[in-house]
Amino acid sequence: MCLANKGFPLILLTLGQVTVTQTPELISTSSGQTVTINCKTGSPVLDAGTSIPRMAWYQQKHEEAPKLLIYYANTRNSGTPSRFTGSGSSTDFTLTISGVQAGDAGDYYCHWDSLQPLWCHLDDRAPILTVLPPSTVEVSSKNTATLMCLANKGYPFDWKLSWKVDGNSKYSETSRGLLQKDGLYSWSSSLSLTADEWKKAGSVVCEAHQGTVPLEEVGVKDLAQGHNGGTP
């Protein structure tokens, strides 16, 4: 079995002050073995104002879109098997595959998201937001109101979604970015309100943002008023 590292194979890719070197170029192994792929940057690749490394690892199989395995150096993407482990910080990063399986054969890319990976060229792109209001059945029978915010076709993977009700922030987790076949990402976030909160809401807004500044938002003020607390 061969695992090829075509992301940055034994070359230097330069953009601004950062160079990236990935080794080795080709790994021959057998099922059950442990494989280590190294990636070194010429300077630290940290999220602005933090110590979080913006390093990701991708897997690409023949004629398939690249698949995000690891982001922030060591965080597995949803669906990534536990045998894939990312480690490292600052300038030195490693992808380890423990107990290699036949299906792991393919190309592996290290990528920090201020660089564009070799397989596509994308600028930062705000996702398209859609907010789904709660159903009248849920509001009337369960006394709750669940809203869903769907974000599609954004780039890179670290967009976050947040909610505001009448201008006040409401905490809700954002799903991990899911890589689509076109190289863009999708996310989702849900917000749970009581039926009374939903009835009284003048505006409910979902925002997409990088860092602390929202760059895209969509509101459901008309929906909130139109549903009148879930009553048809």
- 62: confidence class by pLDDT, cuts 50, 70, 90: low
Whether the CB-CB separation of 214 and 206 falls below 8 Å is answered with no
pLDDT value at residue 126: 83
Mean pLDDT is lowest, of 29-33, 89-93, 148-152, 181-185, for 181-185
Residue at 48: amino acid letter: A
Rounded to an integer, what distance in angstroms lies between the CA atom of residue 136 and that of residue 53? 44
Q: Kindly report, residue by residue over 191-211, the tens digit of the pLDDT.
A: 999 999 998 988 899 999 876
Average pLDDT of every residue of the chain: 75
Rounded to an integer, what distance in angstroms lies between the CA atom of residue 39 and that of residue 32? 23
Query: Per-residue pLDDT averaged across 141-164, rounded?
Result: 88
- 218: confidence class by pLDDT, cuts 50, 70, 90: low
Is residue 84's pLDDT more than 90? yes
Q: Kindly report, residue by residue over 9-21, the tens digit of the pLDDT.
A: 322 333 334 556 6
134/21: higher pLDDT: 134
Q: Which strands form 160-165's sheet, in the order they lie side by side?
A: 168-170, 160-165, 204-210, 213-219
β partners of residue 206: 163, 218
CA atoms within 13 A on the CB side of 67: 17
User: What's phi and psi for 226, nearest 5 deg?
Assistant: -70, -35
CA atoms within 13 A on the CB side of 97: 23
Q: Which two tokens stand for residue 65?
A: 């879109």
**Is 54 buried (19+), middle (13-18) or exposed (0-12) by CB count in 10 A?**
buried
Whether the CB-CB separation of 32 and 91 falls below 8 Å is answered with no
Is residue 71's pLDDT more than 80? yes
- 155: confidence class by pLDDT, cuts 50, 70, 90: confident
Is residue 232's pLDDT more than 60? no
Q: Which two tokens stand for residue 204?
A: 């409910």
Tell the residue number behind the tokens 């910080």, with chain if given.
89
pLDDT value at residue 68: 86
- Complete domains list, the chain, with CATH: 2-112 (2.60.40.10), 128-227 (2.60.40.10)
Tell the residue number behind the tokens 């669906």, with chain if given.
79
Q: Is 118 strand, coil or helix?
A: coil
pLDDT value at residue 10: 29
Q: Kindly report, residue by residue over 21-58, the tens digit of the pLDDT.
A: 666 666 777 788 898 888 888 888 776 667 788 888 88
118/43: higher pLDDT: 43
